[in-house]
């Protein structure tokens, strides 16, 4: 596998982890064997019967209960998981997914200094320049402001249901 392909697959792994299409935690069980012909969860290519296949199983509460990888794709996914574990991902290594709010360390460029903002990347950089939007104001970042690192926002937990003991008392007007 060429180094460029490895870098693309590592970036894809990070993107899929952030999008929750791939898990970022250790599996409950790992199985190895010959390929089943099913697609790899990272490169999307079939895992041939002549190739080793790694199958990762997760408890049913996980969003993705079973994940399959070519052996090399599993190594790249594992590397991306370790990078994700450090939380901050350098923009030079991988861009955040398009149209996804992430937290970013933004440099002010030549003016020095920086700030942490919630931003959205709205252009992929292939069809034009990468465009960053301040997610709070929905305004493009000022000239010279450039995200240097980013991380996924923590998942919002569902609000707790009030029990009869803790529910507020509501009085109605007569």
**pLDDT per residue as tens digits for the range 146-167:** 999 888 876 543 443 333 443 3
The answer to which of 1-15, 17-31, 115-129 has the lowest mean pLDDT is 1-15
Per-residue CA distances from 29 to 107, 135, 139 (Å): 42, 39, 45
Nearest CA to 40 among 23, 21, 53? 53
> pLDDT value at position 140?
93
> pLDDT value at position 163?
38
- As a whole number, the mean pLDDT across the chain is 80
Average pLDDT over residues 11-36: 87
- Decide which of 164 and 118 is more confident: 118
Per-residue CA distances from 28 to 60, 80, 112 (Å): 10, 19, 46
Nearest CA to 135 among 149, 154, 122? 122
DSSP for the chain? Answer: --HHHHHHHHHHHHHHHHTTSS--S--SEEEEEE--SPBPTTT--B--TTSEEEEEE--TTSSSSEEEEEHHHHHHHHHHHHHHHT--EETTT-PPPTT--EEEEEE-GGG--EEEEEEEE---SSSS---EEETTTTEEPPTT-EEEEEEEPPPPPPPPPPPTTTSPP-PPP-
pLDDT above 80: residue 46: yes
The Cα 21–Cα 126 span in angstroms is 23
| Pairing mode, strands 89-90 and 66-70 | unpaired
> pLDDT value at position 59?
76
Using one digit for the tens of pLDDT, what is the confidence trace for 55-67? Answer: 998 876 556 678 9
Confidence of residue 2 (pLDDT cuts 50, 70, 90): low
> pLDDT value at position 61?
57
């Amino acid at each position: 596998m060429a180094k460029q392909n490895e870098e693309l697959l590592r970036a894809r792994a990070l993107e899929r982890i952030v999008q929750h299409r791939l898990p970022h935690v250790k599996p409950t069980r790992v199985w190895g064997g010959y390929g089943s012909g099913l697609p790899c969860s990272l490169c999307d290519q079939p895992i041939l019967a002549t190739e080793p296949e790694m199958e990762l199983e997760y408890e049913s509460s996980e969003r993705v209960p079973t994940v399959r990888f070519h052996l090399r794709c599993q190594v790249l996914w594992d590397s991306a998981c370790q990078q994700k574990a450090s939380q901050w991902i350098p923009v030079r290594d991988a861009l955040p997914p398009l149209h996804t709010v992430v937290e970013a360390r933004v440099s002010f460029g030549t003016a020095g200094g920086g700030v942490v903002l919630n931003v959205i990347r709205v252009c992929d950089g292939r069809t034009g320049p990468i465009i960053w939007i301040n997610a709070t104001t929905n305004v493009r970042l000022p000239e010279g402001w450039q995200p240097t690192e980013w991380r996924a926002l923590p998942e919002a937990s569902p609000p707790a249901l009030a029990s009869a003991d803790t529910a507020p008392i509501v009085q109605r007007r007569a």
